[in-house]
Amino acid sequence: MMTSTHSIARWLPPGFKPFVTSAIPAGCRTAVWRARRRFHEWRTEQDVRRLYRRIRRSPPKANDRERVGPYVIRINDGWTFYNLYKDIFAYRIYHFTSVRPAPRIIDCGSNIGGSILYYKWVYPQARIVGFEPDPTLFPYLRTNITDNGLTDVTLVQAALSAQEGSLRFYSDGKAGSCLAHNVPSDAREWQPYDVPCVRLAKYLSEPVDFLKMNIESAEWEVLADNADGLSNIREMVIEYHHLPGIPRTLHHILALLDRQGFEYAIHHFDYHTNPQLKPPFELRPETRYYLLIYAKQRQYMERLAEK
């Protein structure tokens, strides 16, 4: 099945900004920009809801192909594709503004490649390293990179860990997976595999414009193992996993980011992703939620402000 998802991110059409600057009185420009932003947000929400309704009515199957912007994506699961589209292409959770036309990007937890496709759409010259250990997902990832003709992308079929070697790994075959010591207590019927593990350190020896980390509860151990190398990262987005039976490490992650010179902000995705974070609040041992931690080097921010 081939379908099309159209809007994704809408940048200004050519000539729009100069037109607003020259033709609209200064006192009205702020209102124009705000109206355009609200219209963009409204259209984005409509696109997300339209896709949600379509998938509820007729869910795509594994190996179906979906068109997103200039790309065709081979998907492994309809609802996984919905979340990929919603988060990455509609809400742009991994977007960043690069000062270089060919930014260096490290993508930790590439899944079927949605984030890499987004980076290449925004920055066609980007140099990307993507890590994905799941043997059920890696073939989709490789297909989506090669079939769309993407270059300067290095794929590493390995898990990131604080130790190298082979470790037991569990996967639900869709979007959930983790190393054995991070398996949530409510995981059911996940398949075990033995996967190679690598450390992130050797990939941080030169500046990294953007790092994305979605590695299913291993975020703290990998960040702690590479504390000194974090100074080479300008911006990053980390997905924090609060899952049943998993150690709580959010406070450790935030303290480490602060020590290493980062400003940060925390976001909860949306209430569809995190219904248990909707007020009134309640926490139980079985509560699961996900947070986005966006971090940016203070020195990098100061240099940009001086320009």
For residue 156, the one-letter residue type is: V
Q: Classify residue 182: in a domain, yes or no.
A: yes
- Decide if 161 contacts 197 (C-beta within 8 A): yes
Q: Classify residue 42: in a domain, yes or no.
A: no
Give the span between the Cα atoms of 129 and 150, in whole angstroms: 12
- Average pLDDT score, the chain: 89
Res 6 pLDDT > 50: no
Res 14 pLDDT > 50: no
Give the span between the Cα atoms of 62 and 58, in whole angstroms: 13
| 216: region left, alpha or beta (phi > 0 left; psi from -120 to 50 alpha) | left
Q: Classify residue 23: in a domain, yes or no.
A: no
CB burial string 230-255: b at 16+ within 10 A, e below: bebbbbbbbbbbbbeebeebeeebbe
Across 224-241, average pLDDT: 96
CA distances from 134 to 19, 78, 131, 225 (A): 49, 18, 10, 22
Confidence of residue 156 (pLDDT cuts 50, 70, 90): very high
Q: Classify residue 29: in a domain, yes or no.
A: no
The predicted model scores a pTM of: 0.88
Which SS3 state, helix, strand or coil, does residue 215 take?
coil
Tens-digit pLDDT profile for residues 180-203:
788 888 777 888 999 999 999 999
Confidence of residue 307 (pLDDT cuts 50, 70, 90): low
Minimum mean pLDDT range among 46-55, 140-149, 173-182, 244-253? 173-182
Confidence of residue 8 (pLDDT cuts 50, 70, 90): very low
Q: Which residues make Cβ contacts (< 8 Å) with residue 288, sequence separation at least 6?
A: 184, 186, 242, 243, 244, 276
Across 259-264, average pLDDT: 97
Q: Classify residue 37: in a domain, yes or no.
A: no
* Pick from 72, 83, 77, 80: nearest CA to 48: 83
Give the span between the Cα atoms of 79 and 175, in whole angstroms: 10
Minimum mean pLDDT range among 6-10, 87-91, 275-279? 6-10
Question: Percent of the chain beyond pLDDT 90?
Answer: 69
- The residue range of the domain holding 268 is 92-306
Minimum mean pLDDT range among 102-106, 232-236, 274-278? 274-278
Q: Classify residue 76: in a domain, yes or no.
A: no
What total of structural domains would you count in the chain?
1
Tell me the CATH number at 136: 3.40.50.150
Q: Which residues make Cβ contacts (< 8 Å) with residue 1, sequence separation at least 6?
A: 60, 61, 64, 65
Q: Classify residue 58: in a domain, yes or no.
A: no
Give the span between the Cα atoms of 167 and 180, in whole angstroms: 8
Q: Which residues make Cβ contacts (< 8 Å) with residue 185, sequence separation at least 6?
A: 244, 245
Q: Classify residue 35: in a domain, yes or no.
A: no
- Decide if 4 contacts 67 (C-beta within 8 A): yes
Confidence of residue 27 (pLDDT cuts 50, 70, 90): low
* Range with top average pLDDT, 21-25, 117-121, 164-168, 272-276: 117-121
